Amino acid sequence: MARPIGGTKKGVKRGETTSLSHEKEQVLREAFENSPIPTFVINKGHQVIYWNRALEVMSGITAQEMIGSKDHWKVFYHEYRPTIADLIVYGRHKEIPHWYPGKYNESKWIEDAYEATDFFPALEGGGRWLRFTASALRDSTGTITGAVETLEDITDRKLAEEALRESEARYRTLSVTDALTELYNSRHFYDQLQLEIERAERYGHPLSLLLLDIDNFKRFNDTYGHLEGDEVLIRLGQVIRRCLRKTDSAYRFGGEEFTIILPETGGEAAIILAERIREDMADEDFYPVESPEVVHETVSIGVAQYLPREGLRPFIKRADFNMYGAKEQGKNRVHYRSA
């Protein structure tokens, strides 16, 4: 009757045990070699003792070239630096955060095991993103005798994630941007103005608002057409962007109306900025197809400084009132009333 394989039961001879151990090692070696996961193993002396076929394909370096050497790091880096497997063998686990800051996690299940994600510029194609794991190998006494490291090429996944993030960012930008002028749209204006009002109330800092309207814009459209009118809107958007500071933000409020939020800005400083915009716009040259000569368009601008506890809509209403005051005074001018 055949006895079970792999035991040390009475009747199993020493030679048979050695043979079974050799058979197990051969099975493990075959499993390692045929694994689709790129893997290498180093011993206590940091020499490569296993370098499987999948890693040969990934690295372009054969096992014959690598086994017995300490050059496994050259696959991943231009200059020497330890892999996580090396740090484990050295017993320098505390150095892992130095080499992989914010890129690694310690295994919750296995002692002396880590996983990390990093970009390796030395790999083919201008570099590759790899997810890699490393864990200690121990003998029967628990002493570390080496380490095994596995690698997974996640470049395509990373590129897909980056493309998705860019797409989402682009969508968010488009959702708050006016397509014609490339300024923010009115929906974003209300959200941002409310935030700035809350900040002004909290810290007691000044806040001003400009409301602009293109003078005689309907007449311009009726005379030269809407395509030429769009050019005026686009150019006004460009003028506004040229004049703004980093802290300011501009919006197409609707039709030919524009508005600008000026944080940390009192009424007098807001007037100076408004005058710069008005003058720059008046200097712009337009050449409508139907016009034999250059045409100029102007803007009327209302300025308002936020009053404590005033609220959003009354604040906008005052800026709008001042803008119509500029119209009534002859257009192409800035009008400001403090209250």
Catalytic residues: 256
Q: Give me the residue label for tokens 């996944």.
A: 157
In terms of DSSP H, where are the helices of 52-100?
A: 53-59, 63-66, 84-90, 96-99
Residue 218 dihedral angles phi and psi, to the nearest 5°: -60, -40
Strand partners, 39: 150
- Tell which residue, 247, 250, 155, 264, has the closest CA to residue 208: 264
* HSE of 180, CA atoms in CB hemisphere, 13 A: 18
Q: Would you say how long the chain is, in residues? A: 339
Report which of 145, 113, 140, 120 is spatially closest to residue 49, judged by C-alpha positions.
Answer: 145
Contact 309, 285 (CB under 8 A): no
